[in-house]
Chains A and B, each alone.
Chain A
């Protein structure tokens, strides 16, 4: 008997969509010095979110836990071959192939953030610049594959996975659902990120571009 069951707790969902926002924003501001401050603050946000996710991977609810999507390579291969035959088994949480993307995104996200911080601290020179671009571009590729996987899996199993990541609910057997949503923790994450952003904006206003645009006047002094 299928029911509407809670699968993704609120901290996991807040994390997911804030990560989407941070990564997208960081990518859109990557090519310009005019938005360098925004790029940097979004990079820090991304790192902070991933730090939370690492903890939540051990302390979170059933499907948010790493142990729920730590599959053996053989399971991934078996899932892939079943998928190619159009007979992929349905998973309530991450499926084995999807979990590969999640692991890669976690690793590449941390790599992108850490190389970005090092670059901003002027550690590692040109090689760090290259590395930051390579890691970040690779992450973009995995994001695309992740989105494609979500679309394919949604069509295959006739369930809207994007909606599930928004509402937290899927259709499933009642005993497979999680019982707590941890709303309070989701609120804390959201408030913390918004506070960080507004605080940073204030710093940004304190050092406007006009500061150095008037350097010619200083030269005349």
Chain B
């Protein structure tokens, strides 16, 4: 029995290590409210705006690229990497159920992509506006 038990423990560990990150840990709305909690700490916060998020998404911010350089102006469509030309899966949750379901991944990619597009990290306000916009995009 101990041998069998330890085997199942290992199977569990393996599953926990590899399968769980693939499961949807959060919903996009939970991710949004987590960003909202950060934003609310900023004085003068008056909620998120999808319209402001869309503008932010399409505009350049001093660098060569905007968000839409890779994700296109239609976040429900497949994007294209501006450097490598490789396909990027749709960003809008309506078109791609995997998007914004893992806070760690959301943080990681906002950090990477904001550094490219803005040359700095995005504020919680900016992230929340963009996600609010993406949640309004229909498939």
Contacts and interface: CB of A to CB of B under 8 A. Distances in A.
**Chain A complexes with chain B:** yes
Interface of A: 31-37, 40, 120, 122, 125-127, 130, 207, 209, 211-213, 215-216, 219
Contacts, number: 67
Interface in B101-139: 102, 105, 112-113, 115-116
Contact of B85 (A126, A130, A207, A219): A207
A105 B40 CA distance: 46
A126 B70 contact: no
B9 interface: no
Nearest to A30: B112
B129 to A, nearest CB: 20
Q: Which of B58, B69, B73 has the largest number of chain A CB atoms within 10 A? A: B69
B73 A219 contact: yes
Interface of B: 18, 21-22, 58, 64-66, 68-70, 72-74, 80-86, 102, 105, 112-113, 115-116
Given A36-B83, A127-B18, A212 B112 contact: no
Contact of A34 (B18, B22, B83): B83
Given A215-B69, A215-B73, A37 B83 contact: yes
A130 B21 contact: yes
Contact of B22 (A36, A122, A126, A215): A126
B58 A213 contact: no
Given A212-B82, A213-B69, 20 more contacts: A32-B115, A33-B83, A33-B113, A34-B64, A34-B83, A34-B116, A35-B83, A36-B81, A120-B86, A127-B22, A130-B21, A207-B84, A207-B85, A209-B82, A209-B83, A211-B82, A215-B69, A215-B72, A219-B72, A219-B74
Contacts of B81: 33, 36, 212
20 contacts: A31-B115, A32-B116, A33-B82, A33-B116, A35-B83, A36-B84, A122-B86, A125-B22, A126-B22, A127-B21, A209-B64, A209-B65, A211-B82, A212-B80, A212-B81, A213-B64, A215-B68, A215-B80, A216-B58, A219-B74
